[in-house]
Chain A
Amino acid sequence: MTLSISSRLSTPGACLAGLALAFALGGSLFLACGSAPNSIDVRGYPPDMQARYDLFEKRCTRCHELERPLNARIGAGGWSKYVRRMARHPAAGISVEEQREIAIFLEFHAERRRDAQRQALEGGAP
């Protein structure tokens, strides 16, 4: 079998080095990371919010990862418009009532995030 590498890599060793670099990069970032990016633990949320998270998870992951809305920087009160825009995608299939429920959850989650960030800042102050 002939082994050849595209682009500027010219030896099998270089190929393996590239892959090793990719794994090393991923591993380093992994070790440096904080909370899980693609889901959240809602066990501490009120039951109605847990139910809304379930709906949000079910509806929104059909087209994209949860990470994008969970970490989006939308101002307080802005989620209902944002969710309505998402729901306009053909076949998104998010009803008006569901849009409302998902937006309530995302507002709640965003407020929690802001609180946590405020507390972290206050706790870190000298």
Chain B
Amino acid sequence: MNGALLALIFMADVNFAGSIFVNQPTLVSDPTDDARELLGDTSYGLNAEANFKVVAEVQEHVSASAKVCYGCHGFMADMAYVDWTVVEPFNVRVGRFPVPFGEFYLRHDPANHRTTTKPLPYEMGRMLRRNQYNLAVLPEPYPDNGVEFFGTVSTERAEVSYSAYAVAGLKGDASIGDLDFIRSRSEYVADNNRTPAVGGRLTLAFPNLPVPSWRWFALGASAMWGHYDDDAALSYFLGGLDLYTRVQKVNLRGEVMFRRTEIPDRPEAFRHVLRDLFVQRDGFYAELDGPVLDRFEWLVRFDGFRRDGAVPTVSSLDSTDSRILRYTGGINVIPLTGIKLKLSYEYWHFTDFPAAQVVHTGLVGTF
């Protein structure tokens, strides 16, 4: 498929874009004196990610996109899809694409969000103690293979956007009863159980509000369901609600979400008595950001995560109900076109571990 996509791109009107992000996490308080366990391997030192995207207009109603990312886990295809606009409110996307869940997925590129780290429910390599929690709700980016139908219907006052999809789905390990995000990304990029995951997203937006300074108000809801194990016996279900509003140039974004993951009825695999045959993960974030003067941006964020359920024997978590709260403040400097310096401070509060503080220094370049 990638060869055909490349052929389409060379024949068509083509645009290139990309970004490079370098981040230095600096742990300024580590009561456990074990930075590696706290930060994990990917955040232990300087880390970098890069994206390179090619978009081609094949004909009036068809375009092709391909995007390659380089990050902590090497090179991977983040996009390789064809879009077909059947009629304006009905589009079909086929290939490998970012699965639409929540408000953040369109902004997961470091050039498109103002913080150095992602919201906690979506965090990946920069989540503290991620090995103990096996990450949060849905690490982004989450690209997958499949088909998506999407579109927008507008009226004078409001617009409704929809998206429905079937993709290969997240992969996991039945022996520990959880998703395995490394396996989801690095193993053969194929469905491990021949059972597609399905989901959808609906947003209701009000772009023309009665108060001139109130620029946007949008509400969204997302859901996803699938099986993660090779035998298609254990399922996961994600649900979420999101809000975006903009007053003048100040953005407020917030999301709440959960993932319920079925676990096997194998008491020997867990450290606690099995009350329920699932583990629930809840997450939220609220973020406020805006520009100040011409070359600076400010941001504050409050986010959290909760893991509720039996703990696998392979994890060092003690409690069946573990929570994290994080407080973030940051300043960005935009010295030159295409360059942004991101500085942020994060205070992490854990119910199961001592608190930690991290300063992130990031530099993002776009082209």
Contact = CB atoms under 8 A, between A and B. Distances in A.
B95 interface: no
Interface string B143-156: 00000101110100
5 contacts: A7-B46, A18-B361, A19-B343, A25-B341, A30-B333
Interface in A1-27: 1-9, 15, 18-19, 22-23, 25-27
Contact of A33 (B215, B216, B218, B335): B335
A117 interface: no
A15 B26 contact: yes
Contact of B112 (A65, A71, A93): A65
A117 B249 CA distance: 29
Given A18-B361, A91-B218, A93-B207, 19 more contacts: A1-B29, A2-B29, A3-B28, A4-B35, A6-B25, A7-B46, A15-B359, A18-B24, A22-B343, A29-B335, A36-B295, A62-B246, A65-B112, A74-B15, A85-B57, A85-B63, A88-B91, A90-B161, A91-B152
Interface of A: 1-9, 15, 18-19, 22-23, 25-30, 32-34, 36-39, 58-59, 61-65, 67-68, 71-72, 74, 78, 81-82, 84-85, 88-93, 95-96
Interface in B204-259: 205, 207, 215-216, 218, 220, 244, 246, 249, 251
B267 interface: no
**Residue from the set A2, A4, A15, A39 with the largest chain B CB neighbour count within 10 Å:** A4
B35 A22 contact: no
A108 B159 CA distance: 28
B307 to A, nearest CB: 24
Nearest to B27: A6
A75 B16 CA distance: 13
A3 B29 contact: yes
A6 B44 contact: yes
A58 B361 contact: no
B358 to A, nearest CB: 8
A58 B295 contact: no
A81 B341 CA distance: 31
A63 B338 contact: no
B336 interface: yes
A26 B339 CA distance: 10
Contacts of A82: 15
Nearest to A9: B26
**Residue from the set A32, A65, A74, A92 with the largest chain B CB neighbour count within 10 Å:** A65
Nearest to A25: B341
A17 to B, nearest CB: 11
Contact of B150 (A25, A29, A90): A90
A77 B150 CA distance: 28
B318 interface: no
Interface in B324-367: 333-339, 341, 343, 359, 361, 363, 366
Given A9-B26, A92-B152, A67 B337 contact: yes
Nearest to B56: A85
Nearest to B362: A22
A95 B291 CA distance: 27
Given A2-B29, A30-B335, A78-B13, A85 B107 contact: no
B43 A26 contact: no
A43 to B, nearest CB: 15
Contacts of A34: 336
Nearest to B253: A62
B100 interface: yes
A102 to B, nearest CB: 13
